[in-house]
Amino acid sequence: VGNELLIGQTLDTNSHWVAWQFNRFGWTVQRVTQLRDSLSALQHGLGEALERRPRMLVTIGGLGPTHDDMTLRGLSLAVRRPLTLNPKALDMVRKKYEKIETPAHLTFHRKKMAMLPRGSEPMANPLGTAPGVLARSSRTTIVSLPGVPKEMKAIFNASIVPILRESSGSQPVEVYLGFVGIVESALAPTLREVQSRFPGLYFKSHPRGLESGVRSLILLHIYTLRKSDPRMINRAVVFLVRRLAGLKSPS
Amino acid sequence: VGNELLIGQTLDTNSHWVAWQFNRFGWTVQRVTQLRDSLSALQHGLGEALERRPRMLVTIGGLGPTHDDMTLRGLSLAVRRPLTLNPKALDMVRKKYEKIETPAHLTFHRKKMAMLPRGSEPMANPLGTAPGVLARSSRTTIVSLPGVPKEMKAIFNASIVPILRESSGSQPVEVYLGFVGIVESALAPTLREVQSRFPGLYFKSHPRGLESGVRSLILLHIYTLRKSDPRMINRAVVFLVRRLAGLKSPS
């Protein structure tokens, strides 16, 4: 969440890091969406995501004290639960400000960070002020994290990784193969064949040289999509190499 | 488009670069979506984007020769126009392969790169094989670009920048202010006030230090959302500085 992403000012490394965490524990990320700081964009974007009924929905950014931090307002509209002052969250916020002043002035803008959709739980933010938020809607666990990368990662590691680990299937098993001197279009029929023979594996070729050039290099990424026999990858590699050894010209 | 984004393998620098280009010419990017290499994900993701009736929709990735390159198949379903062999596109592809072999073998997988939704136009790819694609659906101009960054940028610069420039409003005018020693929650009421006084401007604060700490630093980004008087920014800065000079304690 954030205009700074959509104007090309900030590169979204947060969703990349989070996607990798999900993948690491055997989860599949279906979609990443960047939304503007607009109540309507948030309400509709989050509503559409919930309609797809994922097991988990993560929002990043827009939890701070300023007028343009409106993720929880958008979430409140999408899940149809009003924002209410959460005592646990308020306590977390108060303790943060007590470090800089006694007594802490809990102004409107500071209390705002403790206004959560009814029924949600705050998650402690060890490095910043705005707590993370954990909510549920039907079968979806909703996780809202602040956008400052080190705060986002600290809350994710402390509060979300245990959930991912508990519900994880197997870790993905993967291998990368480099092919030199064969162009992607010539590799394509063989990839199609190996894909249909090994439906439990995922094959994706990444051209790294010129497709229409002599110095071609293709990086092939093979991995299992779900809990499956890791020896399948070995069998697929042997199959691929035998097939390619038999290729005489691009066919 | 691409599983490599959603498994956290590849950082999506392409959409960041494209968003910056749009912004540079005064356009507003409403949303960025990363989709998996799945026909259903593409059909629905592109369909939903078209329902929002944007002036332009850009897809990046999935134009190559392999089985998992299915952006144009997804687009064809979303716009309900069949894929047909485009003679201009086929000619572009043929010329690329003629550089590595005579005569060029136009295999199924190579011809695939010239199968475009009916009524679309290919855009020459100076650095790679798969042509870009330009299509229309109702009021939306659809642009499909390959995912290899240098190819994407080459086609974008040659074929899309002229469209952006022609339809551009004014370039955005922007300024960054750094505030030291004030925490974001104390700045919030003043930002709210300045935002309501200058509705044509966009204000976004980026905390760079600790909110609940003595060494706080806030970067404030101010810019105009659309064609507007650039002197407004000067007036807003003067207003902000005067207000903040009058702040005695966090209020």
Predicted confidence at residue A88, as pLDDT, reads 97
Q: What is the mean pLDDT of residues A121-132?
A: 96
Q: Are B63 and B148 in contact (CB under 8 A)?
A: no
Which of A190, A68, A122, A34 has the alpha carbon at shortest distance from B109?
A190
Structure confidence at residue B249 as a pLDDT band (50, 70, 90): very low
Structure confidence at residue A150 as a pLDDT band (50, 70, 90): very high
Which residues 6+ apart lie within 8 Å of B91 measured at CB?
none
d(CA B132, CA A71) in angstroms, rounded, equals 36
**Shortest alpha-carbon distance between residue B118 and chain A (Å):** 23
Q: Are B150 and B127 in contact (CB under 8 A)?
A: yes
**Shortest alpha-carbon distance between residue B38 and chain A (Å):** 10
Q: Verify whether the Cβ–Cβ distance B32 to A30 is below 8 Å.
A: no
Pick the residue from chain A with its C-alpha nearest to B19.
A8
| Residues in chain A within 8 Å Cβ distance of B4 | 204, 206, 221
Predicted confidence at residue B49, as pLDDT, reads 97
- For A:136-165, CB contacts with B below 8 A are 148
Pick the residue from chain B with its C-alpha nearest to A21.
B8
Torsion-angle region of A2 (φ positive above 0: left; ψ -120 to 50: alpha; else: beta): left
The ipTM assigned to this model is 0.80
pTM for this predicted structure: 0.80
| Residues in chain A within 8 Å Cβ distance of B219 | none
d(CA B25, CA B20) in angstroms, rounded, equals 9
Residue B184: Cβ within 10 Å count: 26
Which one of B11, B33, B68 has the shortest CB-CB distance to A13?
Answer: B11
A125 at the B interface (CB within 8 A)? no
Pick the residue from chain A with its C-alpha nearest to B148.
A207
Q: Verify whether the Cβ–Cβ distance A148 to B37 is below 8 Å.
A: no
d(CA B49, CA B42) in angstroms, rounded, equals 10
**pLDDT digits over A73-85, tens only?**
999 999 999 999 9
Q: Are A17 and B16 in contact (CB under 8 A)?
A: no
Q: Verify whether the Cβ–Cβ distance B20 to A7 is below 8 Å.
A: yes
Pick the residue from chain B with its C-alpha nearest to A33.
B33
Is residue B137 predicted with pLDDT exceeding 80?
Answer: yes
d(CA B89, CA B161) in angstroms, rounded, equals 21
CA distances to B33, B96, B174, B194 from A146, in Å: 20, 48, 25, 24
- For B:3-22, CB contacts with A below 8 A are 3-9, 11-13, 15-22
Structure confidence at residue B250 as a pLDDT band (50, 70, 90): very low
Most confident of A7-21, A233-247, B201-215: A7-21
DSSP label at residue A212: T
